[in-house]
Amino acid sequence: MASASCLSLLVVLVALASAASAQLSSTFYDTSCPRALATIKSAVTSAVNNEPRMGASLLRLHFHDCFVDGCDASVLLNDTATFTGEQGAIPNRNSLRGFTVIDNIKAQVEAVCNQTVSCADILAVAARDSVVALGGPSWTVLLGRRDSTTASKANAESDLPAPSFDLANLTQAFANKGLNVTDMVALSGGHTIGQAQCRFFRDHIYNDTNINSTLASSLQANCPRASGSGDATLAPLDATSPTAFDNAYFSNLVSQRGLLHSDQELFNGGGTDGTVRSFASSSSAFSSAFAAAMVKMGNISPKTGSQGQIRSTCSKVNGS
């Protein structure tokens, strides 16, 4: 009897989860704010043209948002004297960027449709438009997410995959969010753009053996072994084509030129080697897998209906 009730509860929970995703729709703003998507696209394209790295920063914001309590713009809530949210978490502190661009987009969208379009949806659309602006694939973004009223530093520190993770830890971190191994490898391909700080790749270039020796030496020149020295020095995640969204990241992995330990773990004699080789040899295979994985990631635990709120300003809860 107990197992039967547990099973029925499970069925209810699965149904509720499906219902939440089902409420997301590509046409959500067609009537309430028909100019929303064009407004976001224009602002993102301008920001990325002004600074190509911003495309990677906006993509990363969406990823870090979705992996912590779902895609609800909790990552955008500023820390205050009495509140430390996700921005103060170790993976995000002095690392996440693009907040001013998102604030600018939100202001433009608010001018077109007051308190209609959520910050969570702006992040999802901006991630897609950033990838497109840098030559990557497009996909249909499902919309209708609402914004959180809280943010969790602890969950950011426990749920975001760390650059020190091995393949097993990476696989588990993505599985915890309903993403399979192919999704994980494809989403890691987002590292075909952007840069990382020395503090995140120091261990890999000094302590790992599965890295091209010439690459390691060149990186060591600007990233000293001693922690606290040069921590914020930047290096491109994909040195081959750092501002082009392509499949060079995977070719780099095959030649042991991954910047992060977690990058190179995807091609290190484990179960993902074949997927990396496939994406390295076929840009279309990578593009389609990346687009599909982005849609799945964008569906992680959205707040819909009467949950959460539509923030007027993305960095703070309404009324605060």
Question: Is 191 assigned a ligand-binding role in the annotation?
Answer: yes
Give the residue from 54, 64, 75, 100 showing the smallest Cα distance to 242. Answer: 54
Question: Is 44 assigned a ligand-binding role in the annotation?
Answer: no
Question: Is 72 assigned a ligand-binding role in the annotation?
Answer: yes
64, two tokens: 């870090």
Question: Is 166 assigned a ligand-binding role in the annotation?
Answer: no
**CA 63, 65, 69 angle in degrees (round to 5)?**
120
Q: What would the DSSP string read from start to end of 26-53?
A: TTTTTTT-TTHHHHHHHHHHHHHHH-TH
Note if 64 is an active site residue.
yes
Active-site residue, selected from the candidate residues 62, 64, 204, 261:
64
Question: Is 150 assigned a ligand-binding role in the annotation?
Answer: no
Question: Is 68 assigned a ligand-binding role in the annotation?
Answer: yes
* Residues 48 and 98 sit within 8 Å (Cβ to Cβ): no
**Burial (0-12, 13-18, 19+ Cβ within 10 Å), 260:** buried
Question: Is 74 assigned a ligand-binding role in the annotation?
Answer: yes
Question: Is 246 assigned a ligand-binding role in the annotation?
Answer: yes
| Backbone angle region of 255, left / alpha / beta, with phi > 0 → left and psi within -120 to 50 → alpha | alpha
Question: Is 70 assigned a ligand-binding role in the annotation?
Answer: yes
* Sequence ranges of the binding site for substrate: 161
* Sequence ranges of the binding site for Ca(2+): 65, 68, 70, 72, 74, 86, 192, 238, 246
* Sequence ranges of the binding site: 65, 68, 70, 72, 74, 86, 161, 191-192, 238, 246
* Sequence ranges of the binding site for heme b: 191
Which residues are catalytically annotated?
64
